[in-house]
């Protein structure tokens, strides 16, 4: 049984120089020739450790979530590392997020002197963790998908000693492909829709449980919409280059991005999730709400994090390149990550030491589920201890 430690929180600020052709983030985070990063180190009081668990999400901060706090109360040292794009992923370049994560890990090893690093990739941090580890073990990337120099290959990324893939999807692009609303015909007008593909339309004759033919047509239309947006993004980038002016980037809105039939039909990729619901609430409301996935994006960010054909940050492509111990954790009532994602990544992982575990009945955030949170915390701690990566 885990000891319930009192916690200490330390604000962490790291900065490093970066040359950039234009400013892509607002204010403090990344301009004036420097990247500024903010994180929170959570430690149990009077409980030293040789191992640091590092959690990063490309577009969010994690220190307020129950997962890192529960781990620290159990004796772990946990760094919640914010990227330069924390709380605003509209301009997120995943290759640059690797440089941010690498800066934290180098600091943890060289300044804090932790002997072992464990990457804990929860939710959107899962594909990031595998992206980082694959490039730390086998560095290859020198440019972003838009063709801009991002020399990850020469960054000297320090590999982690283990990777935990917890309630995580395969990539931002693949989750968007699963969720994007294929009924949209005009990207400038979310009301111009194909009614037969609008699963929220009350007069749509297609109702759950959906037929296999309908799902096939729906999925094909989702992919077609994604590729139409990508084609427009690439055309616009070429247009801006041809202008030969100071205008090099644009932002745009993507309407209706939360329309996975699985939200309405529990028979699709069955698990214990609540029908008609998702991790953000009513999926019909969120579909075109302000916090929807990929709602606001720049051209370059679309190619790096959302384009299914261009992103490098795909766990299915990265998992075969990792060799360290790998733990995949599925929450059986996950109301965000589709059931097949974690299984597919686990099968793709090349690690000889890999473990798959399921937390029965757990939702994505473990909201109101202290028993499930305790179960996954204990599972993780024991798995690490068995590999000499405990406290």
For each of the chain's 391 residues, which pLDDT tens digit applies?
Answer: 466 899 999 999 999 988 777 777 765 566 667 899 999 999 999 999 999 999 999 999 999 999 999 999 999 999 999 999 998 999 999 999 999 999 999 999 999 999 999 999 999 999 999 999 999 999 999 999 999 999 999 999 999 999 999 999 999 999 999 999 999 999 999 999 999 999 999 999 999 999 999 999 999 999 999 999 999 999 999 999 999 999 999 999 999 999 999 999 999 999 999 999 999 999 999 999 998 899 999 999 999 999 999 999 999 999 999 999 999 999 999 999 999 999 999 999 999 999 999 999 999 999 999 999 999 999 999 999 999 999 8
Question: Is the four-CA dihedral 355, 360, 363, 367 of positive or negative sign?
Answer: negative
CA 80 to chain centre: 14
**pLDDT for res 172:** 97
Q: Can you say whether the dihedral through the CA atoms of 251, 255, 261, 265 is positive or negative?
A: positive
Nearest C-alpha neighbor of 55 from the set 139, 124, 109: 124
Tokens of 78: 């946990």
Predicted pLDDT of residue 1: 46
Query: Model pTM?
Result: 0.96
**Cα gap 60→28, rounded to integer Å:** 16
Structure letter (DSSP) for residue 158? P
Residues whose CB falls within 8 Å of the CB of residue 25, separated by 6 or more in sequence, listed in order: 31, 84, 85, 88, 91
CA dist 91 and 109 (Å) reads 29
All domains of the chain, ordered by start, with CATH?
A: 7-171+312-386 (3.40.50.1820), 174-306 (no CATH)
Q: State whether residue 31 is helix, strand or coil.
A: coil
Full 3-state SS string of 37-96: EEEEEEEECCCCCCEEEEECCCCCCCCCCHHHHHHHHCCCEEEEECCCCCCCCCCCCHHH
The secondary structure element, H or E, covering residue 372 is helix 370-386
Query: Where do we find the tokens 């055309």?
Result: 235
d(CA 367, CA 369) in angstroms, rounded, equals 5
CA-CA distance, 391 to 388, in Å (whole number)? Answer: 9
CA distance 43 to 274: 35
**Confidence at residue 34, expressed as pLDDT on a 0 to 100 scale:** 86
Which residues, in sequence order, are CB contacts of 388 under 8 Å at separation 6+? none
- What are the phi and psi torsion angles at 133 (to 5°)? -65, -40
Q: Residue 26 has what pLDDT?
A: 63
57, 58, 60, 64: CA torsion to nearest 10: 20
**Which residue reads 């040359």 in tokens?**
19
Evaluate whether 307 touches 145 at the Cβ level (below 8 Å).
yes
Report the b/e string of 114-132 with b at 16+ CB within 10 A: bebbbbbbbbbbbbbbbbb
- For 318, the 3-state DSSP assignment is helix
């Amino acid at each position: 049984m885990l000891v319930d430690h009192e916690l200490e929180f330390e604000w962490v600020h790291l900065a490093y120089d970066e040359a950039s052709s234009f400013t892509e983030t607002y204010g403090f985070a990344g301009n004036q020739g420097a990247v500024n990063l903010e994180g929170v180190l959570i430690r149990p009081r009077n409980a030293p450790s040789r191992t640091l668990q590092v959690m990063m999400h490309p577009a969010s901060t994690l220190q307020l979530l129950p997962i890192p706090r529960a781990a620290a109360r159990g004796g772990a040292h946990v760094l919640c590392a914010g990227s330069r794009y924390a709380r605003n992923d509209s301009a997120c370049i995943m290759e640059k997020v690797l440089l941010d994560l690498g800066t934290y890990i180098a600091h943890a090893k060289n300044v804090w002197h932790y002997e072992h690093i464990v990457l804990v990739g929860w939710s959107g941090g899962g594909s990031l963790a595998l992206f980082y580890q694959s490039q730390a073990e086998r560095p290859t990337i020198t440019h972003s998908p838009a063709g801009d120099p991002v020399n990850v290959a020469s960054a000297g990324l320090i590999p982690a000693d283990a990777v935990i893939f917890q309630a995580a999807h395969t990539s931002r692009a693949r989750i968007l492909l699963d969720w994007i609303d294929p009924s949209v015909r005009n990207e400038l007008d979310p009301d111009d829709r194909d009614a037969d593909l609008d699963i929220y339309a009350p007069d749509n004759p297609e109702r759950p449980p959906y037929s296999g033919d309908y799902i096939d047509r729906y999925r094909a239309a989702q992919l077609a919409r994604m590729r139409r947006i990508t084609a427009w993004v690439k055309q616009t980038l070429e247009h801006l280059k041809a202008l030969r002016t100071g205008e090099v980037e644009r932002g745009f809105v993507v309407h209706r991005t939360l329309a996975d039939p699985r939200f309405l039909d529990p028979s699709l990729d069955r698990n214990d999730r609540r029908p008609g619901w998702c991790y953000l609430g009513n999926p019909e409301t969120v579909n075109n709400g302000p916090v929807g996935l990929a709602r606001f994006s720049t051209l370059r960010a679309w190619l790096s994090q959302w384009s299914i054909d261009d992103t490098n940050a795909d766990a299915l492509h990265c998992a075969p390149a990792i060799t360290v111990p790998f733990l995949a954790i599925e929450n059986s009532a996950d109301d965000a990550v589709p059931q097949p994602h974690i299984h597919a990544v686990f099968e793709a992982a090349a690690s000889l030491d890999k473990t798959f575990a399921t937390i029965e009945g757990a939702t994505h955030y473990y909201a109101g589920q202290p028993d499930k949170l305790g179960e996954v915390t204990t599972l993780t701690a024991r798995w690490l201890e068995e590999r000499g990566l405990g406290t």
